[in-house]
Amino acid sequence: MIDTLQIGGVILAGGKASRMGFRDKALQPLHGEALLAHVIDKAKPQVASLVLSVNHNAQHYQRFGLPIVGDHVKNYAGPLLGIFSAMRWFLESEQHRDIQYLACFAADVPEFPGHVVQALARTMRMESATATYIEHRGQIQPLFSLWDLTAVDTVEAALTKGVYGPKLLFGAIAATAVDIEGDSPGAFFNINSLEDLEAAALLIGKKQP
């Protein structure tokens, strides 16, 4: 089994949020707290170290107390660039030499099971996969994925060819889907608009004090 101490995590918060009126989606409130705060609470216990992938308004994210990783190229090239930038950050960090894998989380998906990374890691080891990703109720969740850091050159090569989404790369590498059931009616609910935010407030319960 892959040890949690070998897994770094990144919350991908670098989208344009055009359907949210170009507001920072991750900072929008859900039950009185930023969406990002909900994601951090769920993601942090699942990895050894957690960073934020942000490519604009970085100063607004400093209050969360996590390292901020900017994109290597400032052109909104999609989530695969955020994944690549986080890979590079962990590989180049003297403090994180034990990190061999990168777990990814979406900043606009505040509800997901607490064993997502464990499930991805188990399948990665069993299948000798380069990457694993979640499939929930027949729908692929490509931003909830686990990557072997040895794939960094492959990811960089894909970016140079204009591949900006991880889903487009899965077919070209040893990537394996992991079917998982959510333990909440709001599991993997993606928030793209203010209407989605209102719907999420009904689906996702308030955190217990």
Residue-range domain boundaries for the chain: 4-203
**How far is residue 102's CA from residue 147's CA, in Å, rounded to a whole number?**
5
Return d(Cα 89, Cα 69) in angstroms, integer.
Answer: 7
CA atoms of 45 and 84, how far apart (whole Å): 22
Position 66 scores a pLDDT of 97
This prediction's pTM: 0.93
For residues 45 and 181, the model is more confident at 45
Euclidean distance between CA atoms 8 and 5, whole angstroms: 8
Nearest by Cα to 124 from 108, 106, 145: 145
**Amino acid residing at 141:** Q
pLDDT of residue 18: 46
Residue 94's CB is within 10 A of a number of other CB atoms, namely 5
- Sole residue written with tokens 């333990």: 183
The per-residue pLDDT for range 35-52, each reduced to its tens digit, is 999 999 999 999 999 999
Q: Strand 49-53 vs strand 29-30: parallel, antiparallel, or unpaired?
A: unpaired
72 — pLDDT class (breaks 50, 70, 90): low
* Residue type for position 12: L
31-35, 85-89, 141-145: least confidently modelled range: 31-35
What are the phi and psi torsion angles at 8 (to 5°)? -95, 160
Helix axes 152-160, 79-92, angle to 10 degrees: 140
Token pair in block for residue 195: 């209407």
Q: Where are the beta strands (DSSP E) in 67-137?
A: 68-69, 101-106, 131-136
Decide if domain 4-203 falls under CATH 3.90.550.10: yes
- β-strand partners of 131: 147, 175
What number of residues does the chain have? 209
pLDDT for 19: 47
Q: Under a CB-based contact definition with an 8 Å cutoff, are residues 55 and 70 in contact?
A: yes
With a cut of 60, say whether residue 16 has pLDDT above it: no
Cβ(155)–Cβ(91) below 8 Å: no
Instruction: Give yes or no for a contact between 7 and 181, defined as CB atoms under 8 angstroms apart.
Output: no
